[in-house]
Each structure stands twice: as C-alpha cells, then as structure tokens.
Structure 1
Amino acid sequence: MLPPPGKGKDKRPQPRVEVRRDDFRVTRYKHRSETTTIFVVDASGSTALNRLAEAKGAVELLLADCYVRRDQVAMLAFRGKDAELLLPPTRSLFRAKRCLAALPGGGGTPLAAGIISAALLAEDIRRRGQTPTIVFLTDGRGNIARDGSPGRPKAEEDALAAAKIVRAANLTTLLVDNSPHAEPRAKKLAGEMGAMYIALPYADAGAISAAVRASVLPAQRNGAPAR
C-alpha cells in the first residue's frame, strides 16, 4: 500500500513540490511566410539604354538571390502608355531571365500605371498568405497619366496619388533611383509611398543588387516594412 500523501515510510512529513506559474515555459516557432519580390522596371525612353541594361543586370543578380532562398519573383514593366505583367509569380530562374532579356526599352513613362499595377499584384499575393515586397527601378519622371494621355503635370500628379495607395497598403517597398544624377522627383515619390529610397547615379548592376539586398532582405526577415 502506498503511504499517505506527504509522508514516507518512516511516517515523517516529506517536502511538497510547489509548481509556480513562472516554472512553465512555452516555445513558439515562427513560420517564415513565403516571400514574393515584385520587380517594377521603368523601361521607358526616360531611362537611357545603358541604365536599363544596368537595371536588368541588377534584377538578374537579385533573381539568383531569390532562387537560392526559394522565394518567388514577379516582374512588371511600364513603358508607352501602360504597365505590363511580364512574369507572374514564379520560382523559375530560367523563365525570369528569359523574360528580362526580352524586355525592350523606349516610349513614354506611365509611372502611375506601373505603381498601381504593382500595388494590385502585391495585394493579390498578400491575400494568398504570402509576403510581397516591391522593388521599383525608375528615375521617377512620369509623363503619361493614368488615362494614357501625355503631359508631365498630370502624370506626376497621378503618380503621387498612386504612391499614397502603396503607403496605405503598408507594403514593403524600395525605390532605386537609377537616373544619371539623383532625381528629386524620385525621392519625393519614394517619400509619398513610404519606400526606402536609394540614389545610385553611378552604380553598376552589382552595386544596385547589393543595395537592394541590404535594404529589403532584413525587412523580409523581420516581417516589417522597409522604410
């Protein structure tokens, strides 16, 4: 027969074990949600061909980074009168590189259309339970309004309005100013959308890629927007 609680065989009182609230430890594991990086490339005439080539090179390096992390990538380009989804979210490095190589340059700069298209795609990605990040490569000089009409004043007004939509959605965003000299309009645009702004007037593809990694990837790991 077992001895009564609190007493041993010699019938002397035994010490009780007291369990306090602080003795319990709960370990929570944070699941890393899948990240999709949306590259939005200004392929208009305002971006000189050599700058577009550098932007393409930077995106190609970043695509390789995303491939190593098994993240998805998507690609939008804006030129002429509208923005175009060149590559839906994918992990295929081959498809992304082929799409990038075929990207033409020239025409008007429908900046507002590019921003709106990126925001809509990011919201769609977020609804699927993934974490979107937007990387713009542009000089911020729009000259085509949202309705497709030419004219810099209206185009810039529309672009700033579109930027506020990105800010309201609380999206992790980086704007790389790839103009030959730091462009005030690009910096203002980044401020309106709450984006990290990086001016790289003389940077090559490797420098652009390094800047994006340093600015955006820590925010992806922490789950917080880059600012």
Structure 2
Amino acid sequence: MRGGPMKPGARLNLIATLRTAAPWQRVRRQSLEAAAAAAGRTLPPVLVRAEDFRFTRYRKRTPTATIFVVDASGSAAMHRLAEAKGAVELLLADCYVRRDQVALVSFRGKGAELLLPPTRSLVRAKRGLAGLPGGGGTPLAAGIELAKMVAESVAHHGETPVLVFLTDGRANVCRNGLGGRAQAHEEALKEARQVRAAGFTALMIDMAPRPDEKARQVALEMDARYLPLPYADAGTISVAARSVAGDSGGGPPRRAGSGRS
C-alpha cells in the first residue's frame, strides 16, 4: 500500500487511509477552526489530506504453463507415463478459469519428443495422450534440452513456464544416440545448467524406489527443487506441480530452491 496520487491498477484502501489520517485530526482541526468559523463553514468529521491516501495495488496474474518432462525409458516407464498422464488431466481440469496450460515432453531410446504441446484443452490432452510409448534407454540430456526449448517458447508468448521432471536421473544414452553412462550424465548436467541460466522454475521428482544421487545432482545443477517420491501417483504429482507453480508467483521466471526435498 502506498500514499499519494492513485496509479493504474490501484484501489483506494479506505480503512488504511482513515488510520493514517486519525493521529492528525486534533492538530489539523486546531489549525483550520478559526478560518472555518470566520467563513461560516463547518469542518467535516474527518480531515483527510492527499498524503493520507493509501492504495492497494493489484498485479495481473501471468498464466502458467506446466511442462511435464517424463522419463519413458526402462521397466518403470509405463508407471511414470500413466501417472504423468493422470497429473496432466488433473491440472487441466483445474486450469480453465486461471487460463493455465499443460504440456508433456517424453524421452526414451535415442531422443525426446513433444507428446503434448502447451494446451488448455482437456479433450485435446486426452486424445494426444491416448497411446504413450515406453521402454528403452535414457537420453536425459535430450529431454532436458527439449523441455528448455518448450519453456523458452512459452516465455516468449508471455506466460510463465514451470518444468516438472519425472525421472530417476540415470542417464545412459548420449546426445549422439550411443550408450555411455558417464558421458550421458555429464551431458545431462550441462543441459541442466542451461535451464538454471535461463532462470526457469523447475521441480525434479525422483520416482526411483530409492532416492538416486544422480537425480539430485541434476536437480542441483538445474537449481530445481528435488523431491523423492517413489511410485508417486497422479494426485501427488499434480499437487507438487501446483505447489511449484504457486512458488513461481505467476510472474517472471524464478528459480526454485536448490536440491531441497
């Protein structure tokens, strides 16, 4: 709340204004009573000056686009994909009024793909997510890179991107499509640092049966919140995504807490 002239997007806060003026009533009345009496006028019950005005400023909320980035590799792929699909549908069911969007990026085999471009349509999401492929290697770097590109497009259109990763962080496919755990992990860390440099809010949900240090490392380099949730269901994932989106404030992209659980 501020005093002075009213600015666009502000509304007069009457209670705060009267509280500001109250301590000065006796002084103001004493200084004006003689002149008012001479002019035959009566002073108002409360003497308010321009400097007393207090306003509440309302900021327009920027719509959020939650981008799920799902590890569709390995034996747990179908579980992760199914819960991610459920979380997407839960968020979309609650996003219409707020005009928020949801997108889904999947990575498996030798690369990543955008399964569901940013949308507000629950019908479109259900149709696009009807058949989700799973299994194969873990090209985590490719998934992070594509997610960052989608986030940049979202930000370019004036919305706030929030990245939600569902993975155990065990990268084993390099950018060239070949295997190699050590190099694949280093490439994933490099792409994670690019997300941090862009300042995007991110959440790393580690869905491994036991929390994995590799996922924590990627989250740390990304400056993402790290949340180990073995076998998380759609409801838990959607709640976590809403929490991170709320932390972003619906304003300019802001980094989430590093490596916090």
Settle same-fold status: TM greater than 0.5. yes
- 2:193 aligned with 1:161: no
8 Å CA contact 1:41–1:77 kept in 2: the answer is yes
TM-score normalised per structure 1: 0.84
SS in 1 for 2:155: helix
User: In structure 2, what is the equivalent of residue 194 of structure 1?
Assistant: 223
Q: Where does residue 142 of structure 2 map in the other structure?
A: 113
Instruction: Give yes or no for contact 2:61–2:250 (8 Å, CA) kept in 1.
Output: no
SS of 2:94's equivalent in the other structure is helix
1:137 maps to 2:146:
no
Greater relative contact order (CA < 8 Å, ≥ 6 in sequence): 1
Task: Give 2:213's aligned amino acid.
Answer: P
Give the AA of the match of 2:246: P
Higher mean C-alpha displacement, 55-64 vs 191-200: 55-64
The count of corresponding residues between Structure 1 and Structure 2 is 220
Cα distance, 1:193 vs structure 2: 0.2
Residue equivalent to 1:170: 199
Letter in 2 for 1:216: V
% identity of equivalent residues: 60
Cα separation, 2, equivalents of 1:48 and 1:90: 23
Please name the residue that 2:180 is paired with.
Answer: 151
Q: Give 2:249's match in structure 1, choosing from 212, 221, 227.
A: 221
Counterpart among 58, 83, 95 of residue 29 in structure 1: 58
Q: Secondary structure at the match of 1:217?
A: helix
Cα displacement string for residues 120-172 of structure 1 (whole angstroms, at most 9, x for unaligned residues): 11112111111111111111111111222211111001000000001111101
More displaced, 26-35 or 88-97?
26-35
CA gap of 1:76–1:10, structure 2 versus 1, over 3 A, is closer
| Structure 1: runs of 5 or more not aligned | 1-5
Residues in 2 aligned to 1:182 and 1:52: alpha-carbon distance in whole angstroms: 19
Runs of 4+ more than 4 Å apart: 6-12, 18-21
Question: 1:91 deviation in Å?
Answer: 0.8
- Mean CA deviation greater in 160-169 or 144-153: 144-153
In structure 2, list runs of 5 or more residues that go unmatched.
1-33
SS in 2 for 1:57: helix
CA 130–184 in structure 1, closer or farther in 2 if over 3 Å, else same = same
Please report the RMSD computed on the Cα atoms of aligned residues, expressed in angstroms: 2.7
Q: Give runs of aligned pairs for residues 36-51 of structure 1, distance below 5 A.
A: 36-45=65-74, 47-51=76-80
Instruction: Tell me which amino acid in the other structure corresponds to 1:181.
Output: R
Query: Counterparts of 2:207 and 2:92 in 1: how far apart (Å)?
Result: 18
The alpha carbon displacement at 1:26 in A equals: 4.6
Give the match's secondary structure for 1:116: helix
- 2:208 maps to a residue whose letter is S
| Aligned with 2:124 (options 88, 92, 95) | 95
Q: C-alpha distance in 2, partners of 1:182/1:106? A: 21
Q: Quick check: 1:51–1:179 contact (8 Å CA) kept in 2?
A: no
